[in-house]
Structure 1
Amino acid sequence: MSAMAMLRDATGAAHEAVDAAFGAHDLALPGAYQRFLLAHGRALPAAERVMAALPFARTLPTRAALLAADLADVGTAQPAPLPFAPGGDEATLWGVLYVVEGSRLGGAMLARQVPDALPGRYLGAVHAPGQWRAIRAALDEAAAGKDSDWTARMIAGALATFALYAEAAEVD
């Protein structure tokens, strides 16, 4: 089973819970969109900071600055990021990357709901052609031949990141 498939299977319920929490925002309404961006502002910068310890992650464009710019455009300062320290080992970091980069895919779908009058740099920051495929391949390569402890730490990193986003969605 590929690392992607393992992560999808092991984190499905956490992923659904986060999707439900953020899906409650009507992104066509300025106030709801602002709250959505604020919640992401509590999670994404912390996750990207942790993820940056993984050399592969440093090859990917970050989105925290785009999110801060969108927040500024809706008249809101970047909130303080929530504490996030899932661990710095390679396996955990790949789990964090899985969630952060997967959220970029979801963001592309959500961007369609945002009216043109509202800023859309953050949600519009999609993967370059072939980039998601390269991420999947790199993750599978990193996990190839690793033992169950490594896999468990990768899954724990992903679950911790979903928990970070879930907590960010609840803060108001």
Structure 2
Amino acid sequence: MTASQALRAATAAAHDAVDAAYARFDLTDRAGYAAFLTAHARILPPVEAALAACPALPGFRPRTPALAADLAALGRAMPVPMTVSIPHDPAAAWGMFYVVEGSRLGGVMLARQVAPGLPHAYLAAGHGAGDWRTIRAAIDAADTGADWTARAVAAAERCFGWYGAAAVTGA
């Protein structure tokens, strides 16, 4: 099993829990959508700041500016970000990168649910053709063995947990 396959398999339950936590937000309603974005804005900035400090990540494109712009268009300020303990470990960065970049896939689908006239630059910031495949291949190439994969999985699970916590406290 490749590292990217291990990440997918090992984090499936955490991913499902985050999806369930965010399902409570009504994206067709201005207030519900603003609450959804606010929840994301509590966790995305600290995670992206950690990822930006890891030069090995291919094609990392922060979405915090798009998220801030969408919130501003809704008359909302960026919230105080969550305080999280992010390990300074390349394997952990790859695990968090997997979560953040994987969320682009779901974001594009969620963007279709956003009511017309509401800003959706954050959710619409998807991957280009083949980008997700390239990211998975880069994760697999960075893998140095079982310990590396275990650290990446642990970080991905933590990252999913932070997103879940932000959904509860970010509204």
Provide the rounded CA distance (Å) in 1 between the counterparts of 2:9 and 2:58.
Answer: 26
Give the partner amino acid of 1:127: H
Provide the rounded CA distance (Å) in 2 between the counterparts of 1:69 and 1:57.
Answer: 25
How far off is 1:58 after superposition? 6.5
SS in 2 for 1:82: coil
Q: Which residue of 1 aligns with 2:9?
A: 9
Q: Which residue of 1 aligns with 2:165?
A: 167
State the identity %.
50
How far off is 1:148 after superposition? 2.1
Provide the rounded CA distance (Å) in 2 between the counterparts of 1:56 and 1:133.
Answer: 17
Question: Quick check: 1:93–1:157 contact (8 Å CA) kept in 2?
Answer: yes
SS in 2 for 1:122: helix
How far off is 1:101 after superposition? 0.2
Q: Which residue of 2 aligns with 1:158?
A: 156
Match runs of 1:126-141 below 5 Å: 126-141=126-141
Aligned length: 170
Question: Quick check: 2:58–2:138 contact (8 Å CA) kept in 1?
Answer: no
TM-score (structure 2 length as normaliser): 0.95
Give the partner amino acid of 1:119: P
Q: Deviations over 1:70-127 (max 9, x none)?
A: 0001111001111122301110000000000000111001000002210010000011
List gaps (5 residues or longer) in structure 2.
Answer: none
Q: Which residue of 1 aligns with 2:55?
A: 55
SS in 1 for 2:93: helix
SS in 2 for 1:55: coil
Question: Quick check: 2:111–2:124 contact (8 Å CA) kept in 1?
Answer: yes
Provide the rounded CA distance (Å) in 1 between the counterparts of 2:63 and 2:163.
Answer: 15
Provide the rounded CA distance (Å) in 2 between the counterparts of 1:60 and 1:92.
Answer: 15
User: CA RMSD for the aligned pairs?
Assistant: 1.1
Match runs of 1:1-172 below 5 Å: 1-57=1-57, 59-143=59-143, 146-171=144-169, 172=171
Question: Quick check: 2:70–2:119 contact (8 Å CA) kept in 1?
Answer: yes
Provide the rounded CA distance (Å) in 1 between the counterparts of 2:57 and 2:39.
Answer: 22
Question: Quick check: 1:94–1:139 contact (8 Å CA) kept in 2?
Answer: yes
How far off is 1:152 after superposition? 1.1
Provide the rounded CA distance (Å) in 2 between the counterparts of 1:90 and 1:84.
Answer: 17
List gaps (5 residues or longer) in structure 1.
Answer: none
- The verdict on how the C-alpha distance between 1:164 and 1:26 changes in structure 2, with shifts beyond 3 A counting, is same
